Structure 1
Amino acid sequence: MSTKSGGKFNHLTIFILSCVLFDIVNASCREDAKKERSCEKLCDENGKCEIRAAVVISTNTTILASRSTVMPTLQLAEAEIRRRKLLPDDLNITWIPYDDRCDASHSLLSAIDAYSDDCVHVFFGPVCEYALASIARVVKFLGNSGTPQFTTGGLSFDFVREKKNCSGEYHMLTRTGLAGFQDISDFVLKVMDE
């Protein structure tokens, strides 16, 4: 994917670098100090380093971004990053899939399970708007530093709004898509005006 500057850009690279800095940057919106869980650290006491990534996405193959298409893509992206030596060799990425069924309640349940049972460092997905919103509203409160979330979804206006501080409803959400519905609408109107 090209950037405005014309160079190659990899969103997964930014994610991984963000996660590596996870212990340095505190983006939490919690006012109370929460006891840190040992699993939140990237490296354990034996020096084994791992990023646990929850991939919350539907298994329904009628949806373009379903688990059967997304998981292989993430694995290919990881392989490319490793080929380019952008990650330390001893840093393992574990992709943990969850089925959100494109449903807000199943999505939130997946997030609760991912955080409490698998102690994930980051969320990928969902892409369905309601499912995305339910997780995106709470990730800023998970862990001591908040938990980052990345999606190719989130095209409606609320997901595009500024998220620079905790007052933003979707503070920890990063959209990797190029345009939201408002951008597309503005473009169509400009074309029609010409």
Structure 2
Amino acid sequence: MQISQTNSQRQIGKQNDTESASAKPRPASLDLIEVPVAREVVNSIQISRRACLFPMLFLLFLIGLVFGPQDCVADCREEPARDCEAICDASGRNCTIRALVLLPDDNMYQASLPRVLPILKVAEQQIRSKSLIPPHIDFEWLAHDTKCDASLGVIKAMDGIIKQCAQVIFGPVCDYSLAAVSRITKYFNSQGTPLISVGGSTYDFEQKKTDCNDEFYMLLRTGMLSFETISELTINVMKR
């Protein structure tokens, strides 16, 4: 019995050696091919998520800005309204939303004008194709390079509001620039100017923003994560 078991084990070992020897080594070129393919898949997933996110933001923004109640205003200071602040003319058929985009014109940053501005325009096309807004409402994109600088971000924001009469602001994303601009947007125009940003991951941006006494009133963060939530996740994982 022992001799037969030993012979069978030897035969199995020889068979495994033969299979491993007959197996051809995997060409290194396949790995080089799979890496770009994987990156393309990941990029397509990221683009699809962005394409779903921005139309929803536009929908929520337009519902609140165009079709919302007229008494829902900031009133953080007494300032007479300018004629250019109106989205539509007297007839109500010619409407233009002037959107100020404050981002660095440098692809060194993940959220830059060359990357984000085309996505915003694609989002506009999508909500038009789905008839989420009336066809007589147009968008005017007012792009300004902030260079991720806090002081320049404030200057560009004031230029967009005073000279171009912007009605909504997208960006900044850099925390210092975002903090400087979002502190004063509640005083822009006669009723304040909403600011939408994917930045603001630090703790201060997560505080209450429901009235004029709040520091970052009129700021809408669309980011899913923050430094606080990431730290809480890390602590919970370490506890387990």
Q: Structure 2 length as normaliser, TM-score?
A: 0.74
Q: Distance in 2 between matches of 1:98 and 1:83?
A: 28
Q: Aligned to 1:70, which of 116, 119, 135?
A: 116
Change in Cα spacing, 1:9 to 1:87, as seen in structure 2 (3 Å) is: closer
In the alignment, does 2:187 pair up with 1:178?
no
- What pairs with 1:31-110 in structure 2 (closer than 5 Å)? 32=78, 34-45=79-90, 47-110=93-156
In the alignment, does 2:189 pair up with 1:139?
no
In the alignment, does 2:62 pair up with 1:28?
no
Corresponding residue of 2:28: none
Q: CA deviation at 1:181?
A: 0.7
Q: Aligned to 1:187, which of 233, 236, 240?
A: 233
SS at match of 2:126: helix
Q: Distance in 1 between matches of 2:123 and 2:55?
A: 11
Q: Percent identity?
A: 35
Q: C-alpha deviations, 1:24-69, integer Å up to 9, x for none? A: 1212311x2x111000001123542000000000001100000011
Larger Rg belongs to: 2
Change in Cα spacing, 1:100 to 1:22, as seen in structure 2 (3 Å) is: farther
Contact 2:169-2:193 within 8 A present in 1 as well: yes
Q: CA deviation at 1:17?
A: 2.0
SS at match of 1:107: helix
Contact 1:22-1:145 within 8 A present in 2 as well: no
Q: CA deviation at 1:13?
A: 1.5
Q: Which moved more, 1:140-149 or 1:116-125?
A: 140-149
Q: Structure 1 length as normaliser, TM-score?
A: 0.91
In the alignment, does 2:67 pair up with 1:14?
no
Contact 2:55-2:123 within 8 A present in 1 as well: no
Q: Which has the higher contact order (CA 8 A, sep 6+)?
A: 1
Q: C-alpha deviations, 1:116-165, integer Å up to 9, x for none? A: 01000000000000110111000001112110000000000111111011
The runs of 5 or more residues in structure 1 that have no matched partner are: 3-7
Q: Which amino acid aligns with 1:45?
A: A
Change in Cα spacing, 1:50 to 1:138, as seen in structure 2 (3 Å) is: same
Q: Give 4+ residue runs of structure 1 displaced > 3 Å after superposition.
A: none
Corresponding residue of 1:5: none
